[in-house]
Amino acid sequence: MSQELVFEQGVENAKQFARILYVVHALTFFFSVGTLSILVLIVNYVKRPDTQGTIVYSHHTWMIRSFWWYLAWMILGGVLWVTLIGIPLAMLIWGVAWLWMAYRIIRGFLDLNNNKPMPV
């Protein structure tokens, strides 16, 4: 078996694993508002170095950044919620953050299936 074929099989395996991570991110996001996504985030950090030099690397980075930005917006909404005056704004921030995260998961999954790297 040539090295190129082995590399291509490795990339396909990494892509399949990234697809699974997108699905698990989506499930944890939709059923736990993202709180369980911390487990998937850890897997992203562990698997990302193995995909250096492939499009899959950009997808791991995309999922990692999506998680941290989503968390930042959720924390901001929580701080506003505690002030009581900011409750309507907090709910707006949480709603927009939820839609944004759904977009990032769906776009990442579709781009991975189309062999497109994610922008960095």
Structural domain boundaries in the chain? 3-113
pLDDT in the model for residue 34: 77
pLDDT in the model for residue 114: 96
Question: DSSP letters along the chain, please?
Answer: --HHHHHHHHHHHHHHHHHHHHHHHHHHHHHHTTTTHHHHHHHHHHHGGGGTTSHHHHHHHHHHHHHHHHHHHHHHHHHHHHTSTTHHHHHHHHHHHHHHHHHHHHHHHHHHHTT-PPP-
Query: What are the pLDDT digits (tens) for 70-117?
Result: 999 999 999 999 987 789 999 999 999 999 999 999 999 999 999 999
pLDDT in the model for residue 31: 86
Q: What is the model's pTM?
A: 0.89
pLDDT in the model for residue 106: 97
pLDDT tier for residue 46 given thresholds of 50, 70 and 90:
very high
